[in-house]
């Protein structure tokens, strides 16, 4: 740490406890940052593409997670380095915004920084590099818009959508059944999509799972699946044409929040209290029954007495249903959530064609399936898998596929995958660089080189000779002017991604470029890192 | 340059793969010796107080009790657990098969074959093997007698590898009877397994009625005929006031006495209400205090207290009554019925026996044995057999045992490998070799010459696709499984194949292991 001295040679204290803090600055800081970012990107590089490998992550508590989803890997890795954290955030924001391409964005950012390092070595100012990247990004985006295709589908013809989802799923462990899974995802998205407004609320799609069974046993339920069973073992297991009351008040004597005491000092009072108590339960159940409900779903617990009264009154009930599920249920069945028994009435009930209990395997696990709701726009994808880790990975993969389908519904422009879009952009940026005078030209060329890292990584992961495959495709793109040529990862025999049906959404690709460039600029602008001493 | 937290470790590429393979194979090797009819047991000593000892050869139980640090090993432990939950048996086989697949995969990785190529070969093999398994399965759904025979055979095969092997005929009958009583519902909860130390395993028996391990209250009838039973879940100690914040505040002893009396009155009323149901037996999940017990005795009602929740649920299921908590409307409550309730003695203990119950689904199996360890293991073995049988009742297909399905699958996969161009064929050959390792392990555990036997078996399968030959561990040669009556459940075999392949694929796909720093324990 550098120190400042006054005229008598005594050091100034500028920062609190400055002797304990470590500080790096200038070019050194930039180098260190770039190095850290590269380290993170390198971890993800081998997970890119359909033949990408998985990572095994052990959490601090010893739980194991196996995944090749970029956002999940970074999140579970618990990166400590600050620049590393920036990249984790980058991946997360791609996940939130688009839901797919979380690996690609980090790999791209890493490559951009790697190229920047070489430029810094040549003495180019970091801000000029950032400026050049910005221009290059603009050129690349313009090129993406140029090569984008609009993508046609309708409710009757979902095949194109299914194809896109299959591309996403092919890199995951569910690749074996990508066809069924992709169809399921597309159907789920279309079920909740508002095609007029081009909007899809993914919250209406619940992906739920139970260990055991096989991948093939996964199914799409047009309704909801609750991980609960009836409160009393002898309540009916199946209800047809159910009218559902959704309650957020417990079947228990009321507990006012103000502190109070009920004093009992005479026998009469004791008797009176006894009667009131009994009456409470009778009233509650009567209210439910009178409203015409045939199924009570409650957020809280039941008293034993209330439970039996419900059974005696032939009123099946489910207790301890979580808040999120309750809301979904209310949405699906068209019910109103009722906070007090006194407000229960017939018009606040929801409807469902069938409610049934499903049991699994040899254990006591049971789940409640609610189907045929008036508002069919709540669906559940129910997956099965050999073990917990596979199940989690399936859920993550399906989430990615759902996001892709949603993006296509929102914006039906696509670009071709397999690195085709990146190669085309790289060519475009290079061409734009020629027209640019000044130091930025170098930066733009560097950007073009960095874009090539995606097809390079794809080829490497697929076991192809990376440089040969890339240069071949690049020269063909230039010669034939065909932006659909990419790396043939699946060994399908053609480089034309249009024929292979490999595409990605335009919005996702654009987002990748924007985000990666932004983060790069941010990291390049840092020239001083002050770190407090480790906490003791 | 490390970007991870201090204390975190990262292993990459070949190292990661090696760590994963080694961990998975170590686990597989550990449970390997328990496979097959001559498999050995393991002693597990817990770290907790008392250092409790478990003796078992049930794969899931062994793996569940282990503290495993290797993440790949955890994957195998997990598939074993799921196998247990899903079909109940084959918990060892699934781990051994996954371990063998990885062992073969390791060889190929060393030959510089890309894991993804291996995976695609495995996937294809798995598909082929699954088809073959379906083709060699037998379905005797139509013929009830034959199906029962199938079930008996399956139960015998499952039990032969367990502690019950000496009495396997006896227990196979027990298990099949119990499962067939369920009439296809597959609800194993209705089968109550009671363990009573003493006697020998052979003295275990199946009781058609229901046995509750509880006592009848003092001074109450010990035998009730044509019983009407009220099954309840209600406090019978002091009926607490549930209204929040209620408390008793009095200023004289007289008033205390009054309230006490009122309380007593309340209990008296409750008992009266219960008696008004016209019952002669009252079973409560919660405690019954002396006072109500006395009242019940006066009314000539048998009262049984503190039956646990499972007991109550089963009893309600068996007798057809409903679990009641309020007693104001006697006409609305469905009472349970049975012919005779009596107190019986098993060994030293008194139990309550309900016979002639309305619903014939439930039954009780009473296990007798020399020690609690024996009984625990016997229960686990029987549980396995029951699970397999229940799974078979649902999916009625069966396959021959004794390594026959593995050999049949290995043959098909091997043949396909010979005609498949490309590196994938190596992976398919490896898959077939891994399948053959299962019967080989069974032979090894039985002290037989596995190399000799397996090659004979392989030749038999190659010569005749319709053969039924498998390993006959008893005579130590190749035998006709059909004649020997060694059958296994199709569902179990299929699940073993699919989960093992899935797990192996999952571990193969890994090229990087990141272990986070362990969470600091708070003092």
Paired with B195 in beta bridges are: B367
- Which of B16, B86, B247 minimises the CB distance to A212? B86
Question: Per DSSP, what are the bridge partners of residue A380?
Answer: A206, A221
Handedness of CA A383, A384, A386, A391 (dihedral sign): positive
What is the tally of structural domains in chain B? 3
Task: Note whether B397 and B90 are within 8 A (CB).
Answer: no
d(CA A145, CA A147): 6
For tokens 């006592």, the residue is: B215
The chain B residue lying nearest A390, using CA atoms, is: B506
Same domain, B145 and B134: no
Helix (H, G, I), strand (E, B) or coil at B209: coil
Q: Do residues B97 and B51 lie in contact, with contact meaning Cβ atoms separated by under 8 Å? A: no
**DSSP helix/strand/coil, A359:** strand
Domain assignment present for residue B4? The answer is no
Residues near B396 by beta carbon (within 8 Å), at least 6 away in sequence? B139, B140, B141, B147
Does B69 lie at the interface with A, CB-CB under 8 angstroms?
A: yes
* Whole-prediction pTM: 0.81
- Coil vs helix vs strand at A447: helix
Cβ–Cβ of A311/B188 closer than 8 Å? no
- The answer to whether residues A211 and B83 touch, using CB atoms and an 8 Å cutoff, is no
pLDDT in tens, B431-472: 999 999 988 998 888 888 888 889 988 888 888 877 888 888
A76 contacts in B (CB within 8 Å)? 514, 516
Structure tokens at B198: 């003493």
Do B268 and B220 reside in the same domain of the chain?
yes
Do A305 and B69 count as a contact with CB atoms less than 8 A apart? no
The whole-number pLDDT of residue A536 equals: 47
Residue in A closest to B316 by C-alpha: A234
B467 included as an active-site residue: no
Does residue B310 have an active-site annotation?
A: no
| Catalytic, out of A67, A72, A102, A333 | A102
Distance CA B425, CA B431 (A): 10
Q: Are B20 and B30 in contact (CB under 8 A)?
A: no
Can you name the CATH fold of A223-256+264-375? GroEL (3.50.7)
**Residue of chain B whose Cα is closest to the Cα of A31:** B1
> For the CA atoms of chain B, what is the radius of gyration?
29
Contacts for B475 with CB less than 8 Å, ≥ 6 apart: none
Q: How many Å apart are CA A190 and CA A188, to the nearest integer?
A: 6
Q: Which of A280-284, B59-63, B366-370, B416-420 has the highest mean pLDDT?
A: B416-420
Catalytically annotated residue among A95, A229, A392, A400: A400
**DSSP labels for A473-504?**
HHHHHHHH--TTB---TT--S--BHHHHT-EE
Question: Token pair for residue A420?
Answer: 């085709």
**Which of A212, A255, A273 is nearest residue B85 as measured by Cβ atoms?**
A212
DSSP label at A322?
-
> Which residue, of B335, B357, B379, is where some domain finishes?
B357
B278 touches chain A (CB under 8 A): no
Q: Do B510 and A53 touch (CB under 8 A)?
A: yes
Identify the residue with better confidence: A388 or B138: B138
Q: What is the pLDDT along chain A (536 residues), one digit of tens a residue?
A: 556 777 787 777 666 666 667 777 888 888 888 988 998 898 888 888 777 888 888 888 878 888 888 888 888 888 888 888 888 899 998 888 887 788 889 999 999 999 999 999 998 998 899 999 999 999 999 999 998 888 777 777 788 788 878 877 876 777 777 888 888 888 888 888 877 777 888 878 888 888 766 677 788 888 888 888 887 777 777 888 888 888 888 777 777 667 777 777 777 777 787 778 778 778 888 888 888 888 888 888 777 777 778 887 888 888 888 888 888 888 888 888 888 877 888 888 888 888 888 776 555 567 888 888 777 677 888 888 767 778 888 888 888 888 888 888 888 888 888 889 999 999 999 999 998 888 889 999 999 999 999 999 988 888 788 899 999 999 999 898 888 888 888 777 788 888 887 878 888 899 999 999 999 999 988 888 877 765 54
Domain boundary (B329, B357, B385) is at B357
Neighbours of A28 (CB within 10 A): 12
For chain A, what are the domain ranges?
Answer: 21-148+416-474+505-532, 223-256+264-375
* pLDDT at residue B240 tops 80: no
Closest CA to B216 of B321, B347, B344, B340: B344
Same domain assignment for residues B478 and B500: yes
3-state percent helix, strand, coil for chain B, nearest multiple of 5: 50, 20, 30
Q: Establish whether B298 is a catalytic residue.
A: no
Residues of A in contact with B387 (CB under 8 A): 362
Q: What CATH number has the domain bearing residue B279?
A: 3.50.7.10
Interface contact B325-A60, CB threshold 8 A = no
Give domain status of residue B523, yes or no: no
Residue of A nearest to B261 (CA): A267
Distance CA B178, CA B191 (A): 7
DSSP letter (8 states) at residue B229: E
User: Are the C-beta atoms of residues B87 and B499 closer than 8 Å to each other?
Assistant: no
Q: Quick one: B316 exposed, middle or buried, by C-beta within 10 A (0-12, 13-18, 19+)?
A: buried
B residues 17-36 lying closer than 8 A (beta carbon) to A: 20
How far off is chain B from A266, nearest CA to CA, in Å? 7
A213-225 as b/e: b if 16+ CB within 10 A: bbbeebebbbbbb
For residues B370 and B449, membership in a common domain is answered with: no
Cβ burial B122-152 (10 Å sphere, 16+ → b, else e):
bbbbbebbbebbeebbeebeeeeeebeebbb
Cα of A419 to nearest chain B Cα, Å: 20
Whether B58 is catalytic = yes
Token reading at A432: 């734009």
Are A3 and A11 in contact, with CB atoms under 8 Å apart? yes
CA distance B421 to B418: 8
Best residue in A41, A56, A60, A458 to probe B by mutation, most B CBs within 10 Å?
Answer: A56
Domain containing B322: what range? 210-357
Looking at B357, B373, B408, the residue that finishes a domain is: B357
Q: How far does the CA of residue A242 sit from the closest CA of chain B (Å)?
A: 23
> How many degrees, rounded to 5, is the angle at CA B237 between CA B236 and CA B239?
80
Domain co-membership, B114 together with B176: no
Strand partners, B227: B338
Residues B476 and B369 in one domain: no
CATH of the domain at B382: 3.30.260.10
Residue closest to B333 by CA, chosen among A285, A295, A309:
A309
Report the CATH number of the A21-148+416-474+505-532 domain: 1.10.560.10
- For residue B412, CA distances in Å to B191, B407, B430 come to 40, 9, 13
Q: Is residue B188 one of the residues assigned to a domain?
A: yes
- Residues B85, B174, single domain; the answer is no
Give the mean model confidence (pLDDT) for residues B483-504. Answer: 87
CB B481 within 8 A of CB B470: yes
């Amino acid at each position: 740490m550098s120190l400042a001295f006054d005229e008598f040679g005594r050091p100034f204290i500028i920062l609190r406890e400055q002797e304990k803090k470590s500080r790096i600055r200038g070019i050194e800081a930039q180098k260190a940052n770039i190095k850290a970012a590269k380290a993170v990107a390198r971890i993800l590089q081998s997970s890119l593409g359909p033949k990408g490998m998985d990572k095994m992550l052990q959490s601090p508590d010893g739980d194991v997670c196996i995944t090749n989803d970029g956002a999940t890997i970074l999140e579970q890795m618990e990166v400590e380095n600050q620049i590393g954290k920036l990249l984790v955030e980058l991946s997360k924001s791609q996940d939130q915004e688009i839901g797919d391409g979380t690996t690609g964005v980090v790999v791209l950012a890493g490559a951009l920084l790697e190229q920047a390092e070489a430029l810094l070595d040549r003495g180019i100012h970091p801000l000029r590099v950032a400026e050049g990247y910005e221009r290059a990004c603009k050129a690349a985006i313009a090129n993406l818009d140029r090569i984008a295709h609009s993508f046609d589908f309708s409710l009757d013809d979902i095949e194109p959508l299914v194809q896109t989802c299959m591309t996403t799923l092919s890199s995951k462990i569910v690749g074996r059944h990508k066809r069924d899974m992709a169809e399921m995802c597309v159907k789920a998205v279309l079920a909740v999509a508002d095609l007029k407004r081009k909007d899809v609320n993914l919250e209406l799609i619940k992906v739920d799972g139970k260990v055991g069974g096989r991948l093939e046993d996964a199914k799409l339920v047009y309704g909801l699946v609750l991980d609960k069973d009836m409160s009393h073992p002898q309540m009916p297991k199946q209800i047809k044409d159910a009218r559902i009351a959704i309650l957020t008040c417990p079947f228990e004597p009321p507990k006012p929040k103000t502190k109070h005491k009920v004093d009992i000092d005479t026998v009469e009072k004791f008797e009176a209290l006894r009667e009131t108590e009994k009456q409470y339960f009778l009233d509650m159940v009567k209210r439910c029954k009178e409203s015409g409900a045939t199924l009570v779903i409650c957020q809280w617990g039941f008293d034993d007495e209330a439970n039996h009264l419900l059974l005696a009154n032939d009123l099946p009930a489910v207790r301890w249903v979580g808040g999120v599920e309750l809301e979904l249920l209310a949405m699906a069945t068209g019910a109103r959530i009722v906070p007090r028994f006194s407000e229960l009435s017939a018009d606040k009930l929801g409807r469902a064609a069938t409610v049934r209990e499903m049991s699994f395997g040899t254990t006591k696990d049971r789940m409640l399936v609610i189907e045929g709701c008036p508002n069919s726009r709540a669906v559940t994808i129910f997956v099965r898998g050999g073990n917990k880790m596979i199940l989690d990975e399936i859920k993550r993969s399906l989430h990615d596929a759902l996001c892709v389908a949603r993006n296509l519904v929102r914006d039906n422009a696509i670009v071709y995958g397999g690195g085709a879009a990146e190669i085309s952009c790289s060519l475009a940026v290079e061409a734009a660089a020629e027209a640019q005078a000044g130091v930025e030209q170098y930066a733009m060329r560097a950007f073009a080189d960095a874009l090539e890292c995606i097809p390079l990584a794809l080829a490497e992961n697929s076991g192809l000779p990376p440089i040969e495959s890339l240069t071949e495709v690049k020269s063909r793109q230039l010669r034939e002017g065909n932006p659909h040529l990419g790396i043939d990862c699946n060994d399908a025999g053609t480089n034309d991604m249009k024929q292979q049906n490999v595409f990605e959404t335009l919005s996702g690709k654009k987002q990748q470029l924007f985000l990666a460039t932004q983060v790069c600029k941010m990291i390049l602008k840092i020239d001083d890192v002050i770190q407090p001493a480790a906490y003791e | 340059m490390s970007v991870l937290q201090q204390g975190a470790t990262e292993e990459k590429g070949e190292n990661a793969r090696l760590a994963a393979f080694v961990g998975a194979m170590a686990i597989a090797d550990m449970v390997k010796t328990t496979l097959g009819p001559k498999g050995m047991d393991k002693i597990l000593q817990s770290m907790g107080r008392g250092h409790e000892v478990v003796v078992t050869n049930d794969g899931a139980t062994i793996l569940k009790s282990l503290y495993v640090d290797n993440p790949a090993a955890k994957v195998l432990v997990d598939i074993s657990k799921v196998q247990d939950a899903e079909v109940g048996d084959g918990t060892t086989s699934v781990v051994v098969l996954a371990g063998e697949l990885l062992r073969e995969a390791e060889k190929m990785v060393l030959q510089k074959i890309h894991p993804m190529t291996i995976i695609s070969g495995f996937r294809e093999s798995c598909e082929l093997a699954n088809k073959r398994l379906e083709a060699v399965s037998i379905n005797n759904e139509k013929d009830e007698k034959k199906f029962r025979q199938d079930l008996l055979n399956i139960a015998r095969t499952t039990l032969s590898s367990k502690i019950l092997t000496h009495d396997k005929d006896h227990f196979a009958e027990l298990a099949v009877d119990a499962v067939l009583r369920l009439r296809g519902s597959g609800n194993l909860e209705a089968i109550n397994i009671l363990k009573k130390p003493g006697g020998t395993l052979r003295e275990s028996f199946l009781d058609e009625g229901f046995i509750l391990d509880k006592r009848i209250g003092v001074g109450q009838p010990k035998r009730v005929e044509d019983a009407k039973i009220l099954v309840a879940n209600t406090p019978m100690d002091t009926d607490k006031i549930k209204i929040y914040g209620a408390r008793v505040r009095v200023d004289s002893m007289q008033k205390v006495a009054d309230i006490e009396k009122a309380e007593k009155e309340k209990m008296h009323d409750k008992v009266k209400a219960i008696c008004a149901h016209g019952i002669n037996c009252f079973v409560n999940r919660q405690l019954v205090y002396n006072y109500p017990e006395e009242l019940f005795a006066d009314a000539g009602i048998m009262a049984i207290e503190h039956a646990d929740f499972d007991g109550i649920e089963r009893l309600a299921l068996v007798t057809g009554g409903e679990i009641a908590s309020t007693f104001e409307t006697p006409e609305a409550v469905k009472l349970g019925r049975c012919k005779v309730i009596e107190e019986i003695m098993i060994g030293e203990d008194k139990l309550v026996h309900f016979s002639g119950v309305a619903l014939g689904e439930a039954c009780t199996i009473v296990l007798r044995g020399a020690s609690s360890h024996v009984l625990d293991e016997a229960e686990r073995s029987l549980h396995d057999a029951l699970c397999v049988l229940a799974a078979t009742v649902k999916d009625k297909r069966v396959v021959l045992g004794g390594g026959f399905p593995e050999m049949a699958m290995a043959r098909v996969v091997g043949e396909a490998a010979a005609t498949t161009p490309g590196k994938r064929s190596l992976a398919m050959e490896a898959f077939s070799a891994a399948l053959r390792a299962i019967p080989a392990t069974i032979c090894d555990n039985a002290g037989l010459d596995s190399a000799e036997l397996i090659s004979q078996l392989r030749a038999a399968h190659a010569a005749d696709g319709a053969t039924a030959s498998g390993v006959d561990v008893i005579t130590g040669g190749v035998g006709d499984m059909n004649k020997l009556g060694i059958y296994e459940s199709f569902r179990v075999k299929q699940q073993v194949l699919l989960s093992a392949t899935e797990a192996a694929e999952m571990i193969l796909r890994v090229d990087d292991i990141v272990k986070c720093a362990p969470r600091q324990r708070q003092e």
